[in-house]
């Protein structure tokens, strides 16, 4: 096998691995959104502690749903993962300092989202170039 063939095979395996990771992470965000839309715990008590009302809980649920769908759209996957990184930083800080909840799940989703954002950085750069006209 030549070096080019090895690189191509490695690239395909890497791409498949990222698609699997994106599907798993999208599923986790969709489950989280369903919890927010149904006002299930711990979403209900967390958003109650924030004090911004049901509109904010539903807004976050909509953002999670839209981001989960965007993880399946190749040009948007990296940008969606980047948005999830920001969302999970906020969720981790809120859990730690406002609601007193556990930070393990938001931190895990933060790391997984960051991995996807890194792995799909080329598509994010292409998207940014298209948007900015660069």
Confidence at 3, pLDDT banded by 50, 70, 90: low
According to the model, what pLDDT value does residue 134 have?
66
DSSP string across the chain: --HHHHHHHHHHHHHHHHHHHHHHHHHHHHHHHHHHHTT-TTHHHHHHHHTS-HHHHHHHHHHHHHHHHHTTSHHHHHHHHHHHHHHHHHHHHHIIIII----HHHHHHHHHHHHHHHHTHHHHHHHHHHHHT-
21-40 burial by CB neighbour count: b if 16+ within 10 A, else e? bbeebbebbbebbebbeeee
What is the model's pLDDT at position 7? 67
Tokens of 54: 């049901």
Measuring CA to CA, how many Å separate 19 from each of 38, 40, 77?
28, 29, 10
Is this model's pTM higher than 0.85 or not? Answer: yes
Q: Work out how many domains the chain is built from and give that number.
A: 1
Cβ contact 90:59 at 8 Å: no
29: nearest Cα among 63, 76, 68: 68
Query: What is the domain range of residue 64?
Result: 3-132
For the stretch 81-128, pLDDT in tens is 999 999 999 999 999 998 888 899 999 999 999 999 999 999 999 999
């Amino acid at each position: 096998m030549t070096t080019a063939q090895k690189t191509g095979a490695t690239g395909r395996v890497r791409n498949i691995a990222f698609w699997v990771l994106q599907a798993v992470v999208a599923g986790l965000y969709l489950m989280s959104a369903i919890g927010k839309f149904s006002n299930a715990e711990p979403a209900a008590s967390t958003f109650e502690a924030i004090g911004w009302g049901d509109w904010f809980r539903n807004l976050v649920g909509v953002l999670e749903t839209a981001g989960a769908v965007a993880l399946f759209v190749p040009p948007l996957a990296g940008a969606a993962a980047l948005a999830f990184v920001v969302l999970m930083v906020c969720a981790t800080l809120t859990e730690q300092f406002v609601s007193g909840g556990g930070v393990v799940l938001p931190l895990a989703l933060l790391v997984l989202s960051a991995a996807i954002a890194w792995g799909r950085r080329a598509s994010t750069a292409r998207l940014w170039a298209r948007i900015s006209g660069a």
